[in-house]
Amino acid sequence: MRRMTARPENVHQARILRLLRTDGPRSRAELGDVVALSRSKIALELDRLAALGLVRSDGFAASRGGRRSEIVRLAANLRFLGVDIGATSVDVAVTNGELEVLGHLSRPADVRDGPTAVLDQVLEMVAKLRADGVVTEVHGAGIGVPGPVSLRDGTPIAPPIMPGWDRYPVREAMSQELGCPVLVNNDVNMMALGELHAGLARSAEDFLLVKIGTGIGCGIIVRGEIYSGVSGSAGDIGHIRVDDHGPVCACGNSGCLEAYFGGAALARDALAAARSGRSPFLAERLAEKSALTAEDVGAAAAAGDAHAVGMVREGGRKVGTVLAGLVNFFNPGLVVISGGVAGLGHALLAEIRSVVYQRSLPLATGNLPIVLSDLGGTAGVIGAARLVSDHVFSA
Amino acid sequence: MRRMTARPENVHQARILRLLRTDGPRSRAELGDVVALSRSKIALELDRLAALGLVRSDGFAASRGGRRSEIVRLAANLRFLGVDIGATSVDVAVTNGELEVLGHLSRPADVRDGPTAVLDQVLEMVAKLRADGVVTEVHGAGIGVPGPVSLRDGTPIAPPIMPGWDRYPVREAMSQELGCPVLVNNDVNMMALGELHAGLARSAEDFLLVKIGTGIGCGIIVRGEIYSGVSGSAGDIGHIRVDDHGPVCACGNSGCLEAYFGGAALARDALAAARSGRSPFLAERLAEKSALTAEDVGAAAAAGDAHAVGMVREGGRKVGTVLAGLVNFFNPGLVVISGGVAGLGHALLAEIRSVVYQRSLPLATGNLPIVLSDLGGTAGVIGAARLVSDHVFSA
DNA sequence: GTACTTCCTTCTTCGGGAGGACAAAGTTGG
DNA sequence: CCAACTTTGTCCTCCCGAAGAAGGAAGTAC
């Protein structure tokens, strides 16, 4: 039999927990002010939360002219798992209650190996983190997968790049294995949630996270929550048409954004540029490695290779074109660019900005920051942990 | 001094009112079941609501084997005003508490005449409805305007086609004049709310309303509520790029959707088709009227004029192309096509459907109805009334 | 050491809401 | 036409959650 970890008993406890998670340790008095409850009530609920093992005392603050206030914080042994299953890699992180990353493992992995193989890999990584001692009492795990997900069931639904995963009961299986609540969602949505929690989007209500990696996707946050659409496929912008007469895409149509500027497209164009000699840098790389990836294009552009810079520019223009339309439609308060290709850096960003600011309506762009993510590879795992902690910290 | 009409005193009363509004009259027992409150509590709150003049008894239902249940419904004299200010016309409607339209006036009007002229027109129409006797106790008025709106202030914000309206205090002024709460929002959002309340979108959580009229706009409903974006300009899809080398748009860019298929664009193309003799039907019309509008194109297409049908088809393709991208991004559960040009009917709809179903992802289109609105011209006014009733019927 | 601040806890009080008992108003069947 | 049963509505009591007062605890300032 599986011992369930404690959860809040009412909405007040849930509010207190979320507050301690997001804003860090607080005194009882401050909590009363923020939660708008009487001190006696706060004290009562804190006692109960302490009895549940969810919060603890953390010493006393310096006096402000009177009795020192007792600082309350989330229990020390509270742990969440954040799992980010990408197309070509798996990340697993352990966080404390405040969602600070205590341990993080990243391994290359091919999602096409199917759910059992990949999820076994995940469990192995969790076991390794457990051996390191950072995993204590796991209160929940969030799992991001590179495809649409049925939120009701926690299963991938007809994911294009995940053969064998269709309707595989990820939530069910992992909840069984890990012995804790598990939530599954799209990886890009998770990254957006990560940006909302710990990244540049902390004060944003409505924003977009554009991830440019193997594929191109978009996480959508509406009123501070993930928006997934009715089938869980919202944000799938990789197959928006950029041009009628573009390259043929894996989806069957032609001129898709992804066919211009996804990881595969970039590798393809890099190869062509190397072979034709238009890019000496890439040609040299090809000679060394016998294959080229998007990273090589980034390196070439960083090294000043004119053709590679042109490729990045051109890609930025395509992304910007699509994004300009989405900005008109969605009117976000912020756009965060993320993903492997985001490493291409400011040449890419500059081009995207230029197109969006020119092509979108002034009112929508008037106060619209377009920025590169500063979370590195941790946005996904933090977002996954955040999602499940939202769930666990709810009445 | 202005006498304020009654409003609910707590959340239970608010819930009861919204239930009676949307689902119609109910017995006390049924209310108790749906609202999940004890009968005594329901009775108490209903007494209070009756004392406030917000609900009334409406006779007894047939017995179901025991004591007959007393039917409760919204007060008979409850009235909301729905105002839809379009680019070229003004609609004003009076509804009862259930948002059934009791009176409706529509007049041509040019929004460019400025706020005072247009709003005076509105007040005149309200006075006329008042004279007809259908306006009794007005509990609120919703006003839709053809441009972005600051929801906080209830004022238009830098509206492109509403010169003189920028930051004009519409809510303030009209609230003063009408002596009731006033809410202002974008007209297309109002139409979407109308579809949600009384149209084909009644069971939809997330859907889009595409309005093709003088301009082209999109109302966005997320989780049953209007989504307006951070500046109130969300849904402004008329200036999404369709093609690089398209006609120049009023916004300064070229290839905007609106420049291809808005009312003005259609009139322009109709004129060209008539003059060049490519459309005999339109040429004849031009000789009669000396000017052509989008309606003439509709008439020509309905009459089987080949060139006009081609124009509609081509326009449908452009709209479909943009919509396909939005469907990928937003993954709605329904798309409603509305507006004057929607009168072009099934040729337009067929073309839009064809493009969307071909260009969007199967998962997003798998169960996506794309339909023409069946609310005629009333969606806007009903939605406006609905918005303000949501507000008035809240604690 | 005394006055003042700030913080926490205990006790009392208040009110919202549930739920049972009961009354009212039907139907059904003998 | 009356008794038994059903459904609905109302009255009354009890319980619990939460606020707020009062008082104790712990510090600072002078």
* Structural domain ending residue among the three candidates B74, B92, B120: B74
A116/A194 same-domain check: yes
Structure confidence at residue B134 as a pLDDT band (50, 70, 90) = confident
Backbone angles phi, psi at A107, to 5 degrees: -135, 145
Q: Report how many domains make up chain A.
A: 3
What pLDDT is attached to residue A141? 98
B95/B29 same-domain check: no
Opening angle at CA B55, ends B51 and B58, nearest 5: 120
How many beta carbons lie within 10 A of that of residue B171, not counting itself? 21
CATH number at residue B115: 3.30.420.40
Q: Are B362 and A158 in contact (CB < 8 Å)? A: yes
Span CA (B67) to C1' (C30), Å: 22
Residue span of the structural domain in which A294 resides: 207-374
- Rounded to the nearest integer, the mean pLDDT of chain B is 92
- Rounded to the nearest integer, the mean pLDDT of chain A is 92
Which nucleotide lies nearest residue B39, CA to C1'? D9
Q: Within 13 Å, how many C-alpha atoms sit on residue A124's CB side?
A: 10
**B230: in domain:** yes
Q: State yes or no: pLDDT of A20 exceeds 70.
A: yes
Q: State yes or no: pLDDT of B292 exceeds 90.
A: no
Q: Within 13 Å, how many C-alpha atoms sit on residue A90's CB side?
A: 22
What pLDDT is attached to residue B243? 83
**A247: in domain:** yes
CA gap B16, B2 in Å, rounded: 27
What pLDDT is attached to residue B262? 84
Which nucleotide lies nearest residue B38, CA to C1'? C18
B33/B120 same-domain check: no
Q: What pLDDT digit, counting tens, does each position of A123-167 carry?
A: 999 999 999 888 888 999 999 999 999 999 999 999 988 999 999
Opening angle at CA B256, ends B251 and B260, nearest 5: 115
Q: What pLDDT digit, counting tens, does each position of A236-263 carry?
A: 999 999 887 888 888 888 888 988 888 8
Average pLDDT over residues A300-314: 88
**B3: in domain:** no
Q: Measure Cα distances from A64 to A29, A32, A69, A73 in Å.
A: 12, 17, 9, 20
**B339: in domain:** yes
Q: State yes or no: pLDDT of B1 exceeds 80.
A: no
Dihedral of alpha carbons B262, B265, B267, B269, sign:
negative
Average pLDDT over residues A297-320: 89
**A3: in domain:** no
Q: State yes or no: pLDDT of A1 exceeds 50.
A: no
A-chain residue closest to B251, CA distance: A361
Using an 8 Å Cβ cutoff, are B239 and A328 in contact?
yes
Q: What pLDDT digit, counting tens, does each position of B260-288 carry?
A: 888 888 888 889 988 888 988 899 889 88
**A1: in domain:** no
Please name which of A376, A212, A194 lies closest in space to residue A298, comparing C-alpha atoms.
Answer: A212
Q: Are B364 and A231 in contact (CB < 8 Å)? A: yes
Using an 8 Å Cβ cutoff, are B92 and B81 in contact?
yes
Range 242-301 of A in CB contact (< 8 A) with B: 251, 253
Burial environment of residue B131 by CB neighbours within 10 A (0 to 12, 13 to 18, 19 or more): exposed
Please name which of A343, A332, A338 lies closest in space to residue A368, comparing C-alpha atoms.
Answer: A332
Q: Are B333 and A230 in contact (CB < 8 Å)? A: yes
Q: What pLDDT digit, counting tens, does each position of B192-223 carry?
A: 999 999 999 998 999 999 999 888 999 999 99
Span CA (A66) to C1' (C4), Å: 9
B-chain residue closest to A359, CA distance: B253
A211/A356 same-domain check: yes
Q: What pLDDT digit, counting tens, does each position of B326-350 carry?
A: 999 999 999 999 987 656 678 889 9
A183/A252 same-domain check: no
* Structural domain ending residue among the three candidates A31, A54, A74: A74
CA gap A369, A366 in Å, rounded: 9
B-chain residue closest to A333, CA distance: B230
Q: State yes or no: pLDDT of B301 exceeds 90.
A: no
B88/B67 same-domain check: no
A215/A335 same-domain check: yes
B359/B213 same-domain check: yes
CA gap A91, B356 in Å, rounded: 36
Using an 8 Å Cβ cutoff, are A294 and A301 in contact?
no
CA gap B250, B243 in Å, rounded: 16
A231/A185 same-domain check: no
**The sheet that has A137-145: what strands, in order across it?**
A101-108, A89-95, A78-85, A137-145, A182-186
B154/B294 same-domain check: no
To the nearest whole percent, how much of chain A has pLDDT over 90? Answer: 69
Please name which of B95, B57, B87 lies closest in space to residue B73, comparing C-alpha atoms.
Answer: B57
What pLDDT is attached to residue A341? 65
B212/B353 same-domain check: yes
Q: Which residues of B touch A249 (CB under 8 A)?
A: none
Please name which of B9, B381, B361 lies closest in space to residue A161, comparing C-alpha atoms.
Answer: B361
What pLDDT is attached to residue B144? 98
What pLDDT is attached to residue A176? 96
Amino acid at B27: S
Min Cα distance B167 → chain A (Å) is: 13
Backbone angles phi, psi at A277, to 5 degrees: 80, 5
* Structural domain ending residue among the three candidates A74, A89, A115: A74
Q: Are B233 and A322 in contact (CB < 8 Å)? A: no
CATH number at residue A30: 1.10.10.10
B-chain residue closest to A204, CA distance: B230
Opening angle at CA B154, ends B151 and B157, nearest 5: 80
Using an 8 Å Cβ cutoff, are B96 and B157 in contact?
no
Span CA (A62) to C1' (C1), Å: 24
CA gap A271, A308 in Å, rounded: 11
**B4: in domain:** no
Average pLDDT over residues A359-372: 93
CA gap A21, A34 in Å, rounded: 14
Dihedral of alpha carbons B143, B148, B152, B155, sign:
negative
**B252: in domain:** yes
Dihedral of alpha carbons B366, B367, B368, B373, sign:
positive
A33/A84 same-domain check: no
SS3 of residue A207 by DSSP: strand
DSSP state of B334: -
Using an 8 Å Cβ cutoff, are B84 and B146 in contact?
no
Min Cα distance B120 → chain A (Å) is: 28
Nucleotides of strand D within 7 Å of the protein's CB atoms? 5-12, 18-21, 24-29
Nucleotides of strand C within 7 Å of the protein's CB atoms? 4-11, 17-20, 23-28
Residue A44 CA to its chain's centroid (Å): 36
What pLDDT is attached to residue A72? 94
Q: Measure Cα distances from A102 to A80, A106, A169, A295, B120 in Å.
A: 10, 14, 28, 28, 64
Protein residues contacting strand D, judged by Cβ under 7 Å: A 10, 12, 36-41, 60, 63, 65-68; B 27-29, 39-40, 43, 64-70
Nearest beta carbon to residue B241 from set A206, A253, A321 = A321
Q: Are A364 and B330 in contact (CB < 8 Å)? A: no
Q: What pLDDT digit, counting tens, does each position of A278-299 carry?
A: 988 899 888 888 888 888 888 8
